[in-house]
Every structure is written in structure tokens, then in C-alpha cells.
Amino acid sequence: MAGPRVPRRLYETWVWIQGLLLALVIPLLLAAIVCPSWRWLVVAVVTFVLSFGISMGGAGLWPGLGEIFAVEGCFMGVELPRDSVSEVDIGPGWEKGGSAVVLFPYKKGIDQMAGDMAVSFFAPDEHGHEVCFAMFTYTAEKALELAERLRG
């Protein structure tokens, strides 16, 4: 498989920043209730907006960043034996492995977009870590074809 992938450390950093910012929103909202001050509310809203901006910014830059990181004129690729693929799903399921925790504000929209054209599965990445891959196809037929090939 080859496609616009970014280095693992960059992805993990992006996810951690989003998660930490989202985790801060709830205590900040509680602080706004406990200490009646509009400042806490403003900080909570700004923190959520910052998290949203980092999330959307990363999602928007993702394909372009992946194309920058090319090896010998080709996208970074991952080779994996078919028997290492597990839990192949079509549609919602991309969040397996914990992504929904970080992306919970956007999960419903991503699920709707995934429809019957997204295929997700677990397989080892280029470092041998078991990760969830999610691929969006052009048609439902292509998604079904990819899922069948991955299932073997």
C-alpha cells in the first residue's frame, strides 16, 4: 500500500496535542461554573477553538504533507502480508484503536462521510506496530472490492 502518509512521530504529536486540548476544555468549563468568572469561559472556548483549528488544520494538510515525504519518487509505502490484516470493516469503524477519543466532536460527521465507501482494518505499520488503517474509496463497489481483497 502506498499513499499520503506522514511520519509516525508527527501523527502521534498531532493526536496528543488535540487530546490534551480537548481534555482541558471540561475542567475549564467546570472552573467557569465553580468560580463565576467570564474569563474561565472565554479560556474554555478559546481552548476548544484551538483544538478544532489544530484538528482541521492537520486534516487539511495531511495529504499534502504525505506527498512531501516521498521515497525514491514514490509515496511512502507500507508492505504487509495479507494474513497480517484483521478486523476489516466498511463504513464506520475507522475509529477503532482510540481515534474516536481524540476526534469525538467530529465522529458523527466522519461516520457520515465514511458511509459505505471507507474501509478500515488493523495491520502492522512500517515500524511493526499494530495500527488501524482507514482508506476512503471512490465508490461503494471499490470499497467492497478492497475489503474482499483484504479479507483474502
Give yes or no for residue 127 having a pLDDT over 90.
Answer: no
pLDDT tens per residue across span 59-118: 777 666 666 666 666 666 667 788 888 889 888 766 676 666 666 666 777 777 777 888
Q: Which residue has the higher pLDDT, 52 or 27?
A: 27
Q: What is the DSSP string of the chain?
A: -B-----HHHHHHHHHHHHHHHHHHHHHHHHHHHTT-HHHHHHHHHHHHHHHHHHHHHHHHHHHHHHHSEETTEE-B----GGG-EEEEESS-TTTTTHHHHHGGGHHHHHHHHTTTEEEEEEE-TTS-EEEEEEE-SSHHHHHHHHHHHH-
Mean pLDDT of the chain: 80
In this predicted structure, what is the pLDDT of residue 152? 82
Q: What is the pTM of this model?
A: 0.61
